[in-house]
Amino acid sequence: MIRVGQGFDVHQLVEGRPCIIGGVTIPYEKGLLGHSDADVLLHAIADAVLGALGLGDIGKHFPDTDEAFKDADSLKLLERVWELAKERGYKLGNVDSTIIAQKPKMAPYIPQMAEIIAKALEAEELSQVNVKATTTEKLGFAGRGEGIAAQSVVCLVKA
């Protein structure tokens, strides 16, 4: 059986926070604000996996009112979400994601992000994980550099 899920997330860019995206700390003058480490890409992927499983979203599983998730490492959250998929007998088909950011330039960091995601979702080959980036041509909140968004589509296959 095949299941498909999609995820979308946004975090504000502020001074004094690290810019962690796809598990990679990107050198930049601002970082993403959140209760957790605010890794917008891993959140979108976690939501896509949860969506495919019919299990709600990350806010339901890891509430932002819970101190346990203060500054949480989103890679650990994604790994916990992936356990839910495995428990139900699913393997990764593929995952495709887009980071929506005017700055910083994501391209140099995308191969490392893809490797981290592939490991977390236990991909059999790297081609199962695709990460893209786009600006919004300076339009809207992303274009003004106020925040970064990410969206993701995941296909799970019953093993």
Ligand X SMILES: C[C@@]1(CO)OP(=O)(O)OP(=O)(O)OC[C@H]1O
Ligand Y SMILES: Nc1ccn([C@@H]2O[C@H](COP(=O)(O)O)[C@@H](O)[C@H]2O)c(=O)n1
Residue ranges at the known binding site: 9-11, 35-36, 43, 57-59, 62-66, 101-107, 134-137, 141, 144
Stretch that binds ligand X, among 13-21, 35-43, 95-103, 145-153 (CB under 6 A): 35-43
Binding to ligand Y by residue 135, rule CB under 6 A?
yes
Determine contact, residues 157/90, Cβ cutoff 8 Å.
yes
Binding to ligand Y by residue 101, rule CB under 6 A?
yes
Binding to ligand Y by residue 107, rule CB under 6 A?
yes
User: Phi and psi of 101, rounded to 5°?
Assistant: -150, 130
The angle subtended at Cα 74 by Cα 53 and Cα 12, nearest 5°, is 105
Helix axis angle, 110-120 to 74-87, nearest 10°: 40
Shortest CB 12 distance to ligand Y, Å: 16
Binding to ligand X by residue 64, rule CB under 6 A?
yes
